[in-house]
Amino acid sequence: MKRKPMQGLLAAALLVTSLWTGTPAFANSIGQEIKIDVSQPEVSKDGFDISKEYAIWKIAGEQKLTLYNLSKQAETKIGDKNSDKKNPRVDGKYAVWIDSRHGGADVYLYDIAKDEEIRLTSGKAAAADLEISGKKVVWSDKSDAGTDIYMYDIATGDTTRVSTSGKASDPTVSDSYVAWEDSRDGNPDIYYYDIDKQKEELAAGGKAHQIEPSLFSDKIAYVNGQQVYVYTIGTGRNKQLTDTSTSKSGVHIYKDTIVYLDDDDLAYRDASKSSGKEIASSVFESVRPRIFEDYVMYAKRDNDKKLRLHIYDLDERADIGLGATSGEPSQPDGSDRYVVYVTESKKANSVVLFDTEKGTSKVISKSSADPIRPVVSGKYVVWYDQREDALVAYDIRKGTEKQITNEDDDQQPSEKLYEVDGSKLLWVNVDRRADLIITDLATGKEEEIASLRTEPLSVDIYGNYAAWVEETGSKKADIYLYDIEERDETVIRKNVEVQSAQIGDDFVVWSENSGGAKNGWDLYYYRIDRQRTELLIRYSERDQKNPQASRNMILFEDNRLSSKEKDFYYELYDVEDRSYSDVEWDDNAEISSPRIGGNRIVWIDERDGKPVVYTMAFASPRDDDAVEEPGTDPKPDPEPGDYREYKLVDLMLDGTLAEKMNSTDFTKIVFVFFQGTEDEITMPLIEAFNDSKRMVDLFNQAGLTTIDIRFYK
């Protein structure tokens, strides 16, 4: 039956409203600095944990859990991609969590060594308050008889009900005991269960509320009224540890060290000592802190109200970075949606990819690699792997990595001389001579465009052109421009003192020592359409050096306003308007290693005392910035059962979304999220209307520019 037009318009209106409640790709304002500090990951409120070998948490907006190997500084995503997960815990070689994939709240166990999941409860379970220690897992489960505590023994596979009151909650476990909070007498008390004796005992009771037990060996730390106590099972002794009038909560114990929240301050103390110490203030109270050995994990909102995961070293008395993205950043690059950089740590270097649309980061290089100088454009990231002496490309959309060069094929790429534009990679093979090669990353096809006697001083590629600077003598060089389509090279500047040349929209720019003056570095540019070289910027004193180009903008070093000749700062200049850009850095910025690409600038900044990556957009993204394969033919008319596929944002921007939805039956419209990745999800429009919450969640997670929409015939 053909739908009425109004129904299609209503659907389109609802869809657009849902989409724009999220964060579109172009929500980052032009000229707004973005600080990319991911040494504290942005996490959800669903909990986290730390043990001897691993830490576990859930990134905000994701469904999978992040399992982090502390010694290898390597992250693994575990759990399925669709269901909600809460209370992640880890100990030894096992991780556990509560999972909603079967409609209830089931307990799942993940065997890290075997990479296997085991479901410990049935689909009717209503599990909560999960903990693990060694090979014992405990949780509370609600049934018609009330809420009781259950224990699963990993070694035997047996599940035991350890409480019978029907009013038990908040369990904790060690090798020999289970403890929990129990309200059988009206107010909560602390009970424990001796696993060997299979016997239940009262640990702490009375008129006050005894809550939040945490167990290590035979010691139970808990909150009694407003104070922290510890009960030792072996001696039967209760000891009060605090006596201030502030509210205490979030107790967790490791050996004799106890962490807790004092109002919203995080503190710790030794059970044998009379005073404690504060770790941090304004801590997020809804998620309890965790401790293992000298490490304390806690959550705290940053200035942007994002919940950040912190780890505090009690021995060093300082916060430390957590996650493979937490090393010192260097060598940044950016292009439109994405920023890449290298994190340098004692263990290894890693390439980090930051999505400006989602505000998320992830490591994309292998833990065994030694990457340097990542560059990004469109959907590709390329870096040099010092361990393999090879160039490596990463497909952002597919999440796959591929080695581009191979020494067995007489390929020895330069470590510094390569650039990427879309799917085109320009690199220099220095195996014998210095061969300039363009590799199509989509097809793997290679083409040699020039063969030089020595390595060029610089290379660049943009649009239909490649450029390089070839040294001809002492402090002299020529600049070449290569037309990729015509396969034709032109010398656009001969025998000048120049170090590099960069390509922008219909121009090539460089800094040239004009001579004659004490400081003679001026900016020149070659206008491709007019085939003419012109002076771009010159001042009678001082220098303009090291220009970089993207679109119509150039970024260069200048010292004309400095009191000292050696003090350079950075300028943005619009070549099309022949004027300095209105986009400016913060006055406190301390810029180093800047790069310009796509519509943005990236740099390392130490304004706050430590190096951090910053980025800022100087223009809106272009339509041709979408991460689609270049050169694809228009889709043919679909056969029966086939479909036409579009970028959803394109239909929204050109105003044809409602028209296309009106002309297609609702049952034949499907959204595609994360297409081409292992997390790909399809969602029919009808399903989206029936589960609008999930629809909005997927829009927010995927980001507007990545969502595809299919119209089936």
- Burial classification of residue 344, based on how many CB atoms lie within 10 Å of its CB (0-12 exposed, 13-18 middle, 19 or more buried): middle
Contact yes or no for 169/197 (Cβ under 8 A): no
- Find all residues with CB under 8 Å of 596, minimum gap 6, and list them: 334, 548, 549, 550, 553, 554, 555, 602
- Residue 514 in domain: no
Whether the predicted pLDDT of 326 surpasses 80: no
Report yes or no: 408 and 389 within 8 Å, Cβ to Cβ: no
Establish if 67 belongs to a structural domain.
no
C-beta of residue 230 within 8 angstroms of C-beta of residue 242: no
Between CA 26 and CA 87 the distance in angstroms is: 34
pLDDT-derived band at 303, boundaries 50, 70, 90: confident
Q: Is residue 687 part of a domain?
A: yes
Three-class secondary structure of residue 184 per DSSP: coil
Residue 2 has pLDDT above 90, yes or no: no
Residue 15 pLDDT exceeds 70: no
Specify the amino acid at residue 671: F
**Residues 6+ positions from 668 with CB-CB distance below 8 Å:** 643, 711, 712, 713
Helix-strand-coil percent breakdown of the chain, rounded to 5?
A: 10, 50, 40
For CA atoms 492, 495, 497, 498, give the dihedral sign.
Answer: positive
List the strands of the sheet with 33-36, edge to edge. 33-36, 612-617, 600-605, 591-597
The pLDDT tens digits for 74-110 are 678 899 888 899 999 999 999 999 999 888 899 999 9
Q: Where does the pLDDT of residue 706 fall: very low under 50, low under 70, confident under 90, or very high at 90 and above?
A: confident
The residue among 38 and 133 whose pLDDT is bigger is 133
For residue 325, the model assigns a pLDDT of 58
Q: Is the pLDDT of residue 437 over 50?
A: yes
Which pLDDT score, from 0 to 100, does residue 20 have? 36
Strands of 100-247 (E only): list them: 106-111, 116-119, 127-133, 136-143, 146-153, 158-161, 168-173, 177-182, 189-194, 199-204, 210-216, 219-224, 227-232, 237-240
Q: Share the mean pLDDT of the chain.
A: 87
CB atoms within 10 A of CB 712: 17
Tokens 């390329």, residue located: 382
What is the per-residue pLDDT for 378?
94
pLDDT band at 171 (very low <50, low <70, confident <90, very high): very high
What's residue 322's pLDDT? 65
Q: Residue 459 pLDDT > 70, yes or no?
A: yes
Backbone φ, ψ for residue 588 (5° rounding): -90, 0
DSSP annotation of 439: E
**Sequential DSSP letters for 193-224:** EETTTTEEEEEE-SSS-EEEEEEETTEEEEEE
Tokens of 235: 């001696």
User: pLDDT at position 664, please?
Assistant: 80
How far is the C-alpha of 277 from the C-alpha of 279, rounded, in Å? Answer: 7
- b/e code 512-530 from CB counts within 10 Å (16+ = b): bbeeeeebebbbbbbebee
Structure-model confidence comparison of residues 658 and 325, the more confident one:
658
Spatial contact of 19 and 26, defined as CB atoms under 8 Å apart:
no
Tell me if 356 sits within 8 A of 392, measured CB to CB: no
Instruction: List the single range of 20-34, 77-91, 297-311, 483-497 with lowest mean pLDDT.
Output: 20-34
Strand partners, 509: 502, 525
Distance CA 634, CA 184 (A): 70
C-alpha dihedral sign at 519, 520, 521, 523? positive
CA distance 56 to 98: 13
What amino acid occupies position 564? K
Q: How far apart are CA 140 and CA 86, in angstroms?
A: 13
- Residue 677 pLDDT greater than 80, yes or no: no
Confidence of residue 172 (pLDDT cuts 50, 70, 90): very high
pLDDT of residue 518: 59
Q: How confident is the model at residue 344 (pLDDT cuts 50, 70, 90)?
A: confident
pLDDT on residue 11: 38
Helices H / strands E in the chain, number of each: 5, 60
Q: Is the pLDDT of residue 318 over 70?
A: yes
Question: What per-residue confidence (pLDDT) applies to 245?
Answer: 93
Render pLDDT for 569-614 as a digit per residue (tens, 0 to 9): 999 999 999 999 999 899 999 999 999 999 999 999 998 888 999 9
The model's confidence at residue 16, banded by pLDDT at 50, 70 and 90, is: very low
| Residue labelled with tokens 């001083």 | 457
State mean pLDDT over 435-453: 96
The predicted structure's pLDDT at residue 638? 38
Is a pLDDT exceeding 70 seen at residue 23?
A: no
The distance in angstroms from the start CA to the end CA of the chain is 15
Q: Residue 547's pLDDT is what?
A: 98
State residue 625's pLDDT score: 46
Would the pLDDT of 449 be above 60?
yes
How many angstroms separate the CA atoms of 342 and 350, rounded? 5
| Residue tagged 């029936």 (tokens) | 690
Between helix 5-20 and helix 692-702 the angle, nearest 10°, is 50
Q: What pLDDT shows up at residue 626?
A: 46
Residue 625 has a CB neighbour count (10 Å cut-off) of 18
Token match 């292009």: residue? 335
Work out the average pLDDT over 177-193. 96
For the residues 316-343, what does the mean pLDDT come to? Answer: 84
Which residue segment(s) compose the domain that 685 sits in?
5-25+636-712
* Residue 653, pLDDT above cutoff 80: no
Is 306 within a domain?
no
Long-range contacts of 376-379 (CB under 8 A, 24+ apart): 376/333, 376/334, 376/335, 376/338, 376/339, 376/340, 376/420, 376/597, 377/335, 377/420, 377/421, 377/422, 377/597, 377/598, 378/335, 378/421, 378/422, 378/423, 378/625, 378/627, 379/627
Which tokens is 121 given? 């409860």
Query: 686 or 433: whose pLDDT is higher?
Result: 433
Q: What is the mean pLDDT of residues 447-472?
A: 97
- Whether 503 has a pLDDT exceeding 70, the answer reads yes
**What percentage of the chain carries pLDDT values higher than 90?**
64
Task: Kindly tell me if the per-residue pLDDT of 517 is higher than 70.
Answer: no
pLDDT at 200: 96
Per-residue tokens: 673: 């999220």
Give residue 180's pLDDT band: very low, low, confident or very high (50, 70, 90).
Answer: very high
Higher pLDDT, 456 or 673: 456
pLDDT in tens, 618-637: 998 875 444 443 333 333 33
Contact assessment for residue 150 and residue 136, using Cβ atoms and an 8 Å cutoff: no
The structural domain count of the chain equals: 1
pLDDT at site 18: 37
Among 501, 503, 465, residue whose Cα is nearest residue 486: 465
For residues 315 and 294, give the distance between their C-alpha atoms in angstroms, rounded to a whole number: 6
Dihedral (Cα; 688, 680, 621, 651), 10-degree rounding: -40
pLDDT of residue 454: 93
Closest CA to 625 of 357, 422, 382: 422
Query: Which among 433, 430, 335 has a CA at the least distance from the CA of 384?
Result: 430
